[in-house]
Structure 1
Amino acid sequence: MSAFNKFKASVPVAWSPNLYITLVRGIPGTRRLHRRTLEALRLRKCNRTVMRWNTPTVRGMLQQVKRLVAVETEEMFKARKENEAKHRALRPPVVVSHFPASAANSSKQP
Structure 2
Amino acid sequence: MAGPGPAWSSRLAIQLVRGLPGTRQIHRRTVRALGLRKVNQMVFRENTSTIRGMINQVKRLLSVETVEMYEARVKEQAEHRALRPPLVINHSQPVSS
TM value normalised by structure 2: 0.76
What's 2:41 paired with?
48
Cα displacement (A) at 1:84: 2.2
Q: Distance in 2 between matches of 1:38 and 1:93?
A: 41
Q: From 69, 78, 94, give the equivalent of 1:76.
A: 69
Q: Where does residue 65 of structure 1 map in the other structure?
A: 58
The alignment of Structure 1 onto Structure 2 pairs a total of residues equal to 83
Cα distance, 1:71 vs structure 2: 0.6
- Alpha-carbon deviations, 1:46-75, whole Å to 9, x = none? 111100001110000000000000110111
Greater Rg by CA: 1
Q: Normalization by structure 1: what TM-score?
A: 0.67
After superposition, the CA RMSD in angstroms is 2.2
Distance in 2 (CA, whole Å) between partners of 1:88 and 1:48 is: 22
Structure 2 gaps of 5+ residues are 1-6, 89-97
Correspondences of 1:86-97 after superposition (within 5 Å): 86-89=79-82, 91-93=84-86
Q: Which runs of 4+ in 1 moved over 2 A?
A: 86-95
The amino acid of 1:59's aligned partner reads: R
| Residue segments in structure 1 that go unaligned for 5+ positions in a row | 1-13, 96-110
Deviation at 1:90, TM superposition (A): 6.6
| Percent identical | 63
